[in-house]
Structure 1
Amino acid sequence: MKARVHVMLKDGVLDPQGEAVRHALGTLGFAGVEGVRQGKVIELDLAETDAAKAESAVRAMCDRLLANTVIEKYTIELA
């Protein structure tokens, strides 16, 4: 089973990388971009075949390592 984890900064947390990208887009002539939030995507290949068990394991991975849950939020997709 494959899992894809999307990690983003929580709303209200400053995103200096996103701001740098927004500024760079403006200097390249892409007007109208009012905000950019940058995150990361983590893809996992899992041996688990049960979706509920896989999601539970991935959630534990996120809480313990893959995301800083103080300032980041995450979503999980299973396929």
Structure 2
Amino acid sequence: MKIRVFVSLKDGVLDPQGKAVGHALETLGFKGLGEVRVNRVVELEVPTDNAADALAQGEAMARALLANEVIEDFSVEVAE
């Protein structure tokens, strides 16, 4: 079963990559942008057909490796 783990910086944590992207977009003529934040999505194939088990595995992987819970939030969903 495929799952997606969405990882984003918590509110209040500086996002230098987002700042760089926002600056580059303004340089390209995209004016008036607000805050730009860069997040990541990790797609995984987990060895189960049970959605609850797949979500639990995704959460365990996020807590163990994929997200730094001090500065990042994450969510997990079953992919279509």
Over the residues paired in the alignment, what is the CA RMSD in angstroms?
A: 0.8
- Which structure 1 residue ranges, 5 or more long, are not aligned? none
- The residue type paired with residue 66 of structure 2 is L
Q: Deviations over 1:17-74 (max 9, x none)?
A: 0001111111110011111000111000111111111111110100010100110001
In the superposition, the TM-score normalised over structure 1's length comes to 0.95
- Which structure 2 residue ranges, 5 or more long, are not aligned? none
Secondary structure of 1:36's aligned partner: coil
In the superposition, the TM-score normalised over structure 2's length comes to 0.94
Does residue 78 in structure 1 map to residue 40 in structure 2?
Answer: no
Stretches of 4+ aligned residues off by more than 4 angstroms? none
Find the counterpart in structure 1 of residue 47 from structure 2.
47
Counterpart CA distance in 1 for 2:51 and 2:63 is 18
Percent identical pairs in the alignment equals 56
Matches within 5 A, 1:1-79: 1-79=1-79
Counterpart CA distance in 2 for 1:55 and 1:8 is 18
Number of residue equivalences:
79
